Amino acid sequence: MKRAELVSQIRAKGTYLCVGLDTDPVKIPEFLHHENDPVFEFNKAIIDATLPYCVGYKINTAFYEAQGLKGWESMEKTVNYIPGSHFRIADAKRGDIGNTSTHYANAFLKVLPFDAITIAPYMGEDSVKPFLQFDGKWAIVLGLTSNPGAADFELKELNGGERVYENVIRTVAGWGSTDSLMFVVGATQADEFINLRRIAPNHFFLVPGVGAQGGSLAEISKKAMNGDVGILVNSSREIIFASSGKDFAEAAGLKAKGYAEEMKNYLDI
Amino acid sequence: MKRAELVSQIRAKGTYLCVGLDTDPVKIPEFLHHENDPVFEFNKAIIDATLPYCVGYKINTAFYEAQGLKGWESMEKTVNYIPGSHFRIADAKRGDIGNTSTHYANAFLKVLPFDAITIAPYMGEDSVKPFLQFDGKWAIVLGLTSNPGAADFELKELNGGERVYENVIRTVAGWGSTDSLMFVVGATQADEFINLRRIAPNHFFLVPGVGAQGGSLAEISKKAMNGDVGILVNSSREIIFASSGKDFAEAAGLKAKGYAEEMKNYLDI
């Protein structure tokens, strides 16, 4: 999906919500367990219920890989079920030497129909560039993450005063355009957003960590939006596990609707 | 596999070679293409031919994921085919927030019978620790990689003079023991090994980049060994694609044997 289409979807629907399909099989409602593929049945119902309130879905590959072959199959079925009107993110945190990254890029952006994949930047330019070779596809590179471990390396200060994550965002921004690169910035890092917009004024940020991890939607929206909206805010557990009963999909839809209604207030439309 | 067993395998066999199964389907000999699972048939023959000359195998997950579901199946069959006498590494470069890393750890160290998985350190402590919770299993954390991109962030200097990769190795070393943590250090970084042994004298290093990427086995062995040998040297393409003919397995065996014979000279046995 190209940037212009993503922005127009956001404006048309009045939402920049991304629903995270962190589908942990042990949290799926009991009554789905007799299905042949409970993970896919769960995801299908969640997608059907949340489609009007979001512009994208983020599939956290770890939850699928933990189920082995069966999990990989559930993931394939899920990404193929999401309609092309919605932005499909593989939250896979890949990145390796160039030759290997090329294979990861093929895996997610060609073999599977994802629009984007999250990338760990540690190994530098040749580990990121293979993900930038596909028209209308995106690399979403880790900038400043939402977890406590962000303090260990990302927030360390480099010689000259710049912090590691600032240097990462500034450097990586030079490797691709705002049509193929986004950055992950955790919602728990709201204090950093104004500074971040100085470094990368025009890029989209994928913002996880709202909800279960504690970030505030109002604060992020105020500090991080740019002229093209420029943020996709992800919520996973809080939406998809809103209820563990027969009404799980309806409850997820309501939660997503709540986010979308709040977002409408922050959008200048 | 516990450290004592790994060290005793190395000493008994006189080799610290790890064979990298970067099995690119387009490079598999023509005559295997009619097989139901050419990747697995290729790997099986390579494993049979190289078993006496190596102590481990490293499966580069990207090459399997690029084949979708079928590739994941080939990977499962391959890791199950490698005998328990050999150290089995998932070269997967994973790492995410704690909750997600726990699922990756289960995927590779419990669901699949890998002994170790490679980890990207960018997201810090809670992204690494879930991989350290299994007795006799290992996290192999990226320290200084073999690719040109290593210069972009890993070699940057932090405030105070330490470089990023040095800080990563020193910090991560505090999160686990030398029985559960190794570091990736590229063979092309031979100049750094003496310095690295000051920071992490007792850890095992997984050293890729010998062969196709140009690192020297003699130099690495001299600079990086410790009292427990302390290095696993990986070669992938140079061994597994030594011949593209009917003799591909035999040629791989000969190449691995050549490495093992050279290694015997560097081992004090």
Domains of chain A in start order, with CATH, are: 3-266 (3.20.20.70)
pLDDT digits (tens, 9 = 90+) for B133-162: 999 999 999 999 999 999 999 999 999 999
Distance in angstroms (rounded) separating the CA atoms of residues A59 and A77:
12
3-state secondary structure A40-70: HHHHHHHHHHHHHHCCEEEEEHHHHHCCHHH
SS (H, E, C) B101-164: HHHHHHHHHHHCCCCEEEECCCCCHHHHHHHHCCCCCEEEEEEECCCHHHHCCCCCEECCCCEH
Report CB contact under 8 Å: A66, B154: no
User: What's residue B214's pLDDT?
Assistant: 72
Q: Which residues of A have a catalytic role annotated?
A: 93
Compute CA distances B104 → A21, A267, B93, whole Å.
15, 37, 10
Contacts of A159 (CB under 8 A, 6+ apart): B156, B157, B158, B159, B161
Nearest-neighbour CA in chain B from A13: distance (Å):
30
Strands A87-94 and A17-21: unpaired
pLDDT of residue B32: 97
Contacts of B100 in chain A (CB under 8 A): 22, 60, 62-63
- Separation in Å, CA of B12 to nearest CA in chain A: 33
Task: Tell me which residue of B128, B142, B122 sits closest to A156, measured CA to CA.
Answer: B122
H-helix or E-strand spanning residue B46: helix B38-50
pLDDT in tens, B152-201: 999 999 999 999 999 999 999 999 999 999 999 998 888 889 999 999 99
Split at pLDDT 50, 70, 90, the class of B212 is low
CB-CB under 8 Å, A159 with B161 = yes
Averaged over B205-211, what is the pLDDT? 89
Residue B144: name the closest of B128, B158, B163 by CA.
B163
Q: Please judge whether B68 and A76 are an interchain contact, meaning their C-beta atoms are less than 8 angstroms apart.
A: yes
Q: Quick count: other Cβ atoms within 10 Å of Cβ A111?
A: 18
pLDDT-based confidence at B242, cuts 50/70/90? very high
The CA distance from B152 to B166, in Å, is: 14
Tell me which residue in A125, A147, A171 faces B98 most closely, judged by beta carbons: A147
Q: Look at residue B88 in the predicted model and tell me its pLDDT.
A: 98
Secondary structure class of B184 (helix, strand, coil): strand
Q: Which residues contact A194 (CB under 8 A, 6 or more apart)?
A: A223
Are A164 and B156 an interchain contact pair (Cβ–Cβ within 8 Å)?
Answer: yes
Chain A nearest-CA residue for B167? A153
Mind listing the pLDDT tens digit for each residue in A24-72? 999 999 999 999 999 999 999 999 999 999 999 999 999 999 999 999 9
Partner-chain contact A124 B149, CB within 8 Å: yes
pLDDT over 80 at B12, yes or no: yes
Q: Evaluate if residue A269 carries a pLDDT over 70.
A: no
> Can you give the pLDDT at residue B187?
87
Contact B96, A62 (CB under 8 A): yes
Q: Which residues are registered as beta bridge partners of A88?
A: A57
Catalytic residue among B44, B70, B77, B93: B93
Mean pLDDT of B75-104: 97
Average pLDDT over all residues of chain A:
95
Angle between helices B68-81 and B38-50 (to 10 degrees): 20
Name the strand (E) or helix (H) holding B231.
Answer: strand B231-235
Nearest to B106 by CA among B92, B87, B85, B120: B92
Residue B190 has what pLDDT?
A: 83
Nearest Cα of chain A lies from the Cα of B147 at a distance, in angstroms, of 6
- pTM across the whole model: 0.96
What is the number of CB-based contacts under 8 A between chain A and chain B? 192
Instruction: Return the DSSP state at B180.
Output: T
> Facing residues of B233 across strands?
B17, B207
Chain B residue nearest residue A171, CA to CA: B152
Pick from A108, A124, A158: CB nearest B157: A158
Q: What are B253's two structure tokens? A: 């065996």
pLDDT in tens, B21-68: 999 999 999 999 999 999 999 999 999 999 999 999 999 999 999 999
Q: Is the model's pLDDT at A10 over the cut of 90?
A: yes
Residue B110 has a pLDDT of 95
**Which of A76, A89, A147 should one mutate to test binding to chain B, selecting the residue with the greatest count of B CBs within 10 A?**
A147
Coil, strand or helix at B12: helix
Chain B hits for A68, Cβ within 8 Å: 72, 76, 107, 111-112
Query: Cβ separation of A93 and B98 shorter than 8 Å?
Result: no
Compute the nearest-CA separation of A161 from chain B (Å): 7
B70 is known as an active-site residue = no
- Per residue in B216-233, pLDDT (tens digit) is 899 999 999 999 999 999
